[in-house]
Amino acid sequence: MFLEGLDALDQKIVSLLIENARMSYSDIAQQVGVSRVAVKMRVQALEKRGVIEGYTTIIDPQKISGAVSCYFEIETAPQSLAEVTDILNACDTITQIYRVTGKNKLHVHAVAASAEEMERLIREVVDPLPGVLDISTNIILSRVKDIKGLRL
């Protein structure tokens, strides 16, 4: 199991927060059978250890009129990899950058407000990247399954 490093109580707390990160300490305490203060202390300890990295609101760009999601598979020369990741990291339209194994060294996601903005990103940022050996650009048509974070 992924949570073997956590005791049973922490596992229950984390499971509840994965289902609903907005759940109150009181509601969690009631479900796991300890005090609200104990839950708060446990959650704070998990945050301090980096087990819980943060809480966020996830927006589905396809629900916003005109938004375009895309991913790129980018193969770079080894000496260009750091520079390429720095350039991509500085771009607000780029939402995720993964260093991966295999032929492609980077898997990159982007979300643009419009097709025009996506085209501008490709033309002004992606196309001129230094040391690129191969690139594949894919527009995301629909979200079939999209799980965030660890599933227990």
Q: Please name the amino acid found at residue 1.
A: M
What 3-state class would DSSP assign to 69?
strand
Q: Which residue has the tokens 């996506």?
A: 118
Q: Could you tell me where the beta strands, DSSP code E, fall in 78-140?
A: 94-99, 106-112, 132-139
Average pLDDT of span 105-121: 93
Per the model's pLDDT, the better-predicted residue between 3 and 23 turns out to be 23
| CA distance to 53, 54, 55, per residue, from 1 (Å) | 19, 22, 23
How confident is residue 1, by pLDDT bands cut at 50, 70 and 90?
very low
Q: What is the pLDDT of residue 143?
A: 79
Report pLDDT digits (tens) over 51-78: 898 887 777 766 777 789 999 999 999 9
Quote the CA–CA distance of 71 and 128 in Å, as a whole number: 17
61-139: which CATH number, 3.40.50.300, 3.30.310.50, 3.30.300.10, 3.30.70.920?
3.30.70.920
Sequence spans of domains, the chain? 8-49, 61-139
Percentage of residues of the chain with pLDDT beyond 70: 92
| Cβ pair 71, 107 in contact under 8 A | yes
| Cβ pair 37, 45 in contact under 8 A | no
Helix (H) or strand (E) holding 75: strand 68-76
Mean confidence (pLDDT) of the chain = 89
Q: What is the pLDDT of residue 58?
A: 74
| Cβ pair 78, 118 in contact under 8 A | no
Helix 36-49 with 25-32: angle, nearest 10 deg: 110
Helix (H) or strand (E) holding 44: helix 36-49
Report pLDDT digits (tens) over 13-39: 998 998 888 999 999 999 999 999 999
8-49: CATH architecture? Orthogonal Bundle (1.10)
Q: Tell me: pLDDT of 4 over 90.
A: no
